[in-house]
Amino acid sequence: MANVTKSTLKGYFQEGNIPSQANFEDLIDSTAGYVNSVPTTQVGTDAHVSEMNLIQPAGTVLTDIGVVATEATVGTSNTIVTFGTSVNQSQLATADFVSAGVAAVGSSVSMGGAKGESGVAWTATNAAALYTAASRTIYIKALQSATQTAGTFISYIKFIKLT
């Protein structure tokens, strides 16, 4: 539905009012949100790249970006994850996710605190543009250094709608 102001939302839910389905849709669309990718295989021979791009809605600021393993990885690859606002770039962040090819189900790395195998949660790069006035693609790539015979990742972004 529509992105409406907080005062409008409060008006929908004042004593005596009966909020409609559209009012609840406005509430959902006007607050924090998230988007996640489809499960993306990490299987491949030699060095390879898996893309898990997402669309950040207009008028939002990113509060978290991450990747989680939904199927354990098997292989000899180190995995580095990059988060950028243009193809083949890492303007937002870069994170060491997996070394020695093995990540258990549930392994993750994020800005919100989940730590990759390096034991460090990633932080936004200096001057990272976390806000966008227009919708944009967030390019999320898992760079595999060698063969992976199993593994699936899902990427996600969380955001707050400001306008």
Residue 155 one-letter amino acid? S
1: its two tokens: 């539905």
> Would you list the domain boundaries of the chain?
1-31, 32-161
Position 120 scores a pLDDT of: 64
Instruction: Domain 32-161: give its CATH code.
Output: 2.60.120
Give the closest residue to 148 by CA, choosing from 10, 44, 53.
Answer: 44
Q: What is the pTM of this model?
A: 0.79
Average pLDDT for runs of 10 along the chain of length 163: 75 90 81 87 92 92 91 90 86 82 86 71 75 93 92 93 76
- Residue appearing with tokens 């990113």: 62
Position 7 scores a pLDDT of: 83
Report d(CA 70, CA 108) in Å as an integer. 9
Position 87 scores a pLDDT of: 84
